């Protein structure tokens, strides 16, 4: 007998009609939409995590931290629906996705073990060790000039330039000097040679991050601090007066280095094992990557060659080389190189295991009105202890005033989203990061708000309705929320407000109220960068688990689905996309769509404040439909505070 999931994915009209008829809460338009989203998700899964994200996420080819999606489980509670604006619209949309670390074969057998893991499909995956040998040799050639001890540069012929970058010694962004040494390796000492090597080694998007510009027109020591093109010019390799120079990873005030001999001297190592696996975890963000024609690169053929090398000193070096075909030739998309201890754990690698903690930014202080948008990265730390260490470090920096919030240019990003011509343009990494940032920090993008709303829930043809009124003044630390239901038993008529550092919660039917001190209900003055709000780690089974959610708690998250939206489900960029734009109440909104086999949900996000003006969810498996609509809204206008009058009320003990 065909189960419901098969019926959804079957594509047959009879199956769609059967399952749609079973759940009466969904109209014909929604049936078609649910099928469209479900089919899209199914195709994504079949592609082996190949093209499941349209956010345009880009990770540096020069080593990346491991990324994966944490498991979030969607839930709904009828009790939560009664206070929907204070506990999450329709219970919230929580997406589920698991990821597992595939351990490498770390055998020290003197004979190299080369194996291929059979893919789910019948097609044999790429497994050419000779081709990978050549790519690894190229990688060694490109990494060697970046280390003065590698012997591929002339350290007596040095130039330098300045730009704002992360300084690990002080855990903040600073104006740093980038040292470059002339390349002496005759195989790559001209522009033509190094570009040819990059072309032979990396796919377009990855190689494009290595080659910088011609800096011949700049004087040595030029400061790119205020130059918006700094990251285009100042890259790993530059051309200066006809010579190729390589940026040193060991120069003063530059990034932490572990030495060429430790990680990249492959020709001096013994290959212990080489295993080919379909897919790969370094690309677990499932972003879109683009070719030279700015067309999406299919990821369905992605293959990871997982290797273990043994150094002359007996230490093991682990290499994971992700491969994609480009014009019929297999090339490197990403790589991860690490030194292992006796237990097979990474001791250090070609990217710090800790986050790049962005502190007070001299560039922001001097670059003008707006701050820089942080592009989204979903970090998963190698184990529980490192997740703890990361949280402690974030807390240390935060307590010392190391993080500073500055609004990004809302008009710039609003225009980008409104002017996008198609789905891909709307769903770039930059645009989705902006929406995520705006919703995470909505309390920082409006000062006052006065709104009314309507909530409706249809569950098994039983209707629950509620209306509400909300006033908020972020700077004045004031909030007032009043909500009433229209047709349920027991009836709800509740007011919650905070002012003068006191909380008051009143039951307007029973005529009772509770009063308590504010405590830590409002902490928007404590800012943590967007990418450090969710801390995940790999457990002992190799699954990604959540350790902590950091950041703001605004008024105890009252009204969080409108004024202060919940963003837990949005941390997974695979789970949502910008479907279109619409105007609501005279405000321009991005329509954010979530979808799964059993539900579809939308949020209408004001493009300038992050306030959610409408939310809908249709759930098949429990035959439910929910909607919250903001009926009126005034932003950043003077408020007339409403204060609680205890006359006729009985004060209850603190709870």
Please, what are the averages of pLDDT over each run of 10 residues along the chain (655 residues)?
39 44 44 50 44 32 30 26 31 28 34 47 77 96 84 85 72 77 93 95 90 91 84 90 88 49 90 92 68 85 94 89 94 87 59 33 42 86 88 80 82 93 93 93 88 86 84 83 73 81 86 76 65 88 85 56 80 90 94 84 93 88 85 88 90 71
Q: What is the CB neighbour count within 10 angstroms for residue 573?
A: 25
Three-state DSSP class for 144? Answer: helix
**In contact, 625 and 619? CB cutoff 8 Å:** yes
* Residue 591 confidence (pLDDT): 96
Tokens 């540096």 sit on residue: 60
* Residue 97 confidence (pLDDT): 26
Three-state DSSP class for 568? Answer: helix
Q: What is the CB neighbour count within 10 angstroms for residue 292?
A: 11
Tokens of 357: 């903690």
* Residue 121 confidence (pLDDT): 44
| Angular region, 461: left φ>0, alpha ψ -120 to 50, beta rest | left
How far, in Å, are 75, 85, 473, 504, 635 from residue 639 at the CA level? Answer: 36, 21, 8, 19, 10
Helices (H), 68-224: 78-82, 84-87, 129-143, 191-201, 204-207
Q: How far apart are CA 172 and CA 356, in angstroms?
A: 8
Q: How far apart are CA 390 and CA 105, in angstroms?
A: 29
* Residue 611 confidence (pLDDT): 92
Give the phi and the psi of residue 197 in degrees, each rounded to 5: -65, -40
Tokens 């040292």 sit on residue: 179
Tokens 């820089």 sit on residue: 372
Three-state DSSP class for 638? Answer: coil
**In contact, 509 and 491? CB cutoff 8 Å:** yes
Helices (H), 202-302: 204-207, 230-233, 260-263
Residues 6+ apart with CB under 8 A from 499: 476, 477, 478, 641, 643
Q: Which of 282, 329, 284, 341 is nearest to 306 (CA)?
A: 282
pTM of the predicted model as reported, rounded to 2 decimal places: 0.49
Residues 545-548: contacts with CB under 8 Å, at least 24 apart: 545/70, 545/71, 546/70, 546/71, 546/72, 547/381, 547/384, 547/387, 547/388, 547/391, 548/387, 548/391
* Residue 460 confidence (pLDDT): 78
Radius of gyration of the chain (CA): 27
Q: How far apart are CA 133 and CA 118, in angstroms?
A: 21
């Amino acid at each position: 007998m065909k189960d419901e999931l098969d019926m959804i994915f079957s594509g047959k009209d009879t199956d769609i009609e059967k399952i749609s008829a079973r759940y009466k809460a969904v109209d014909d338009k929604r049936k078609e939409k649910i099928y469209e989203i479900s089919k899209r998700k199914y195709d994504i899964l079949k592609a082996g995590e190949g093209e499941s994200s349209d956010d345009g996420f880009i990770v540096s080819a020069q080593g990346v931290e491991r990324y994966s999606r944490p498991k979030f489980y969607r839930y709904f509670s009828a009790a939560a629906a009664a206070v929907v604006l204070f506990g999450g619209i329709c219970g919230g949309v929580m997406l589920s996705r698991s990821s597992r670390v595939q351990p490498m074969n770390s055998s020290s057998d003197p004979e190299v073990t080369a194996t291929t893991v059979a893919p789910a499909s019948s097609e044999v995956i790429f497994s050419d060790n000779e081709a990978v040998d050549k790519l690894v040799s190229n990688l060694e050639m490109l990494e060697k000039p970046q280390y003065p001890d590698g012997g591929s540069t002339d350290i007596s012929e040095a130039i330098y330039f300045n730009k704002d970058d992360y300084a690990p010694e002080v855990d903040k962004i600073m104006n740093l000097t980038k040292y470059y040494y002339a390349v002496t390796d005759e195989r790559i000492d001209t522009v033509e040679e190094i570009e040819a090597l990059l072309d032979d080694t990396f796919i377009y998007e990855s190689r494009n991050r290595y080659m910088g510009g011609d800096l011949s027109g700049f004087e040595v020591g030029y400061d790119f601090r205020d130059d918006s093109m700094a990251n285009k010019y100042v890259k790993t390799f530059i051309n200066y007066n006809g010579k190729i120079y390589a940026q040193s990873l060991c120069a003063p005030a530059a990034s932490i280095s572990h030495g060429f001999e430790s990680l990249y001297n492959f020709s001096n190592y013994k290959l212990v094992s080489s295993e080919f696996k379909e897919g790969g975890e370094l690309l677990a963000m499932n972003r879109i990557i683009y070719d030279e024609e700015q067309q999406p690169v299919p990821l369905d053929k992605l293959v990871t060659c997982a290797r273990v090398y043994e150094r002359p000193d007996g230490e093991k070096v682990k290499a994971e080389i992700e491969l994609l075909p480009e014009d019929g030739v297999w090339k490197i998309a990403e790589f991860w190189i690490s030194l292992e201890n006796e237990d097979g754990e990474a001791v250090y690698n070609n990217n710090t295991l800790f986050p790049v903690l962005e502190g007070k930014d001299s560039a922001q202080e001097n670059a003008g009105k707006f701050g820089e948008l942080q592009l989204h990265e979903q970090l998963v730390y190698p184990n529980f202890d490192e997740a703890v260490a990361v949280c402690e470090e974030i807390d240390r920096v935060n307590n010392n005033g190391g993080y500073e919030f500055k609004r990004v240019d809302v008009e710039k990003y609003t225009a980008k989203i409104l002017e996008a011509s198609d789905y891909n343009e709307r769903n770039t990494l930059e645009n989705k990061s902006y929406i995520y940032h705006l919703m995470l920090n909505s309390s920082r993008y409006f000062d006052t708000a006065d709104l009314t709303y309507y909530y409706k829930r249809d569950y098994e043809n039983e209707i629950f309705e509620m209306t509400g009124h909300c006033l908020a003044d972020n700077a004045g630390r004031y909030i007032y929320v009043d909500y009433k239901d229209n047709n349920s038993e027991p009836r709800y008529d509740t007011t919650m407000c905070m002012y003068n550092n006191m909380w008051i919660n009143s039951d307007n039917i029973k005529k009772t109220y509770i009063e308590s001190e504010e405590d830590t209900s409002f902490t928007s003055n404590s800012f943590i960068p967007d990418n450090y709000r969710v801390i995940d780690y790999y457990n002992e089974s190799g699954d990604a688990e959540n350790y902590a959610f950091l950041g703001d708690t605004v008024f105890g998250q009252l009204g969080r689905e409108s004024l202060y939206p919940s963003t837990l489900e949005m941390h997974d960029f695979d789970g949502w996309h910008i479907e279109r734009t619409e105007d609501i109440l005279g405000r321009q909104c991005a329509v954010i769509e979530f979808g799964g086999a059993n539900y579809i949900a939308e949020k209408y996000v004001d493009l300038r404040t992050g306030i959610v003006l409408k939310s809908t969810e249709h759930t098949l498996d429990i035959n439910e439909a929910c909607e919250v609509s903001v009926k009126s809204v005034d932003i950043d206008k003077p408020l007339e505070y409403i204060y609680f009058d205890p006359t006729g009320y009985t004060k209850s003990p603190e709870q």
